[in-house]
Chain A
Amino acid sequence: MKGSLIIVGFFALGVLCGVLNWIPSEWLSGDLSFYALCGLMFSVGLSIGHDPQTVQNFRALNPRLMLLPVGTILGTLSATLLISLVLPHRTIPECMAVGSGFGYYSLSSIFITEYKGAELGTVALLSNIAREILTLLCAPLMVRWFGNLAPISSGGATTMDTTLPIITQTAGQKYVIVSIFHGFVVDFSVPFLVTFFCSI
């Protein structure tokens, strides 16, 4: 939670600098953000490749529960498909790109800004932060209404880090491996799905 606040703080600080014109706009015309994005993705790749242990732990998992990330992705994408009909000024792929962040607001907003501009990037940032917060707040209700897998699905890409504690509290300790597996797979799908929906 503290990490999320700092990230939002940097965004807010940037907005303030932009509104008050503290930073010359030449900073933005350069490719700085593109190179930083490349550096970020390289580092994310390094950290995944460096730790094969995580992937090995998944062998202990009930094969049927391996379907959970698929359910999360399909459930989220069908929901964004429906909501795009209510938001006439947004195209279907735009809404689906925002939904494809699955709560991974830093990466999805950066990607969407790069491909679709700052306005949709801001929607992606706020929407995916809201998804994480909703999961943190409503996890107990989700378990009661939709069963033990619901908070994991709702947490999307965050279930291997920020929402893991609340999931183990509400769904139970035995869902830790499912939750980490789910977070890993959904996390990995974010750059692909976001790029895909931004390019159609």
Chain B
Amino acid sequence: MFTVIGIMFTGIGIGYLLRRNSLSWIGKVITALIWLLLFLLGIEVGHNEQIIRSLPTLGLEAFLIAIVCVLGSCLAAWALWKHVNRRKEEKA
């Protein structure tokens, strides 16, 4: 399972060694692979009748998770914002 992360670090190392060469094509490769993988995910979903039937429920669930994630992050950001500003006022 951690193979994939190991491969990413190999990539970082090789990328660093090649930093003087132009790798402008790498963005296009990333985009193409993302397209391919989401296409494959789509096929797998489409083949699976059970997922297709429960798609509305899955969508609702996904939306619910997204809302609470956004709220949770906003609250954390608000706490840090208060903290940063209080320090500024103390200094002034």
Q: Verify B30–A134 contact, CB threshold 8 A.
A: no
- In whole Å, how far is B35's beta carbon from the nearest beta carbon of chain A? 5
Question: Which chain A residue lies CB-closest to B59?
Answer: A126
Contact partners of A42 in chain B: CB under 8 A: 7-8, 10-11
A6–B23 alpha-carbon span in the complex (Å): 24
Q: C-beta contact mask, B44-55 vs A, less than 8 Å → 1, else 0?
A: 111110111011
Q: Verify A110–B38 contact, CB threshold 8 A.
A: yes
Q: Verify B73–A28 contact, CB threshold 8 A.
A: no
Decide yes or no: A14 and B43 within 8 Å by CB, A50-B16, A68-B80 being known contacts.
yes
Q: Verify A110–B19 contact, CB threshold 8 A.
A: no
Q: Verify B48–A118 contact, CB threshold 8 A.
A: yes
Q: Verify B66–A131 contact, CB threshold 8 A.
A: yes
Interface size on A, residues (CB 8 A): 99
Interface centre among B3, B35, B50 (most CB of A within 10 A): B35
Say yes or no for A40: interface residue by CB 8 A criterion. Answer: yes
Decide yes or no: A45 and B7 within 8 Å by CB, A40-B30, A64-B83, A130-B62 being known contacts.
yes
Q: C-beta contact mask, B69-92 vs A, less than 8 Å → 1, else 0?
A: 111111111111111110100000
Question: Which chain B residue lies CB-closest to A87?
Answer: B61
Decide yes or no: A146 and B77 within 8 Å by CB, A32-B40, A128-B66 being known contacts.
yes
Q: In the complex, given contacts A127-B65, A153-B73, what are 5 additional A-B residue pairs having Cβ atoms less than 8 angstroms apart? A: A14-B46, A48-B12, A50-B18, A50-B26, A113-B44
Contact partners of B41 in chain A: CB under 8 A: 11, 14, 33, 109-110, 113, 118, 121-122, 125
- In whole Å, how far is A168's beta carbon from the nearest beta carbon of chain B? 16
Contact partners of B27 in chain A: CB under 8 A: 47
Contact partners of A118 in chain B: CB under 8 A: 41, 44-45, 48, 51
Q: Which of B37, B40, B67, B76 contacts A28 (CB 8 A)?
A: B40
A146–B77 alpha-carbon span in the complex (Å): 7
Q: C-beta contact mask, A175-200 vs B, less than 8 Å → 1, else 0?
A: 00000000000000001100100110
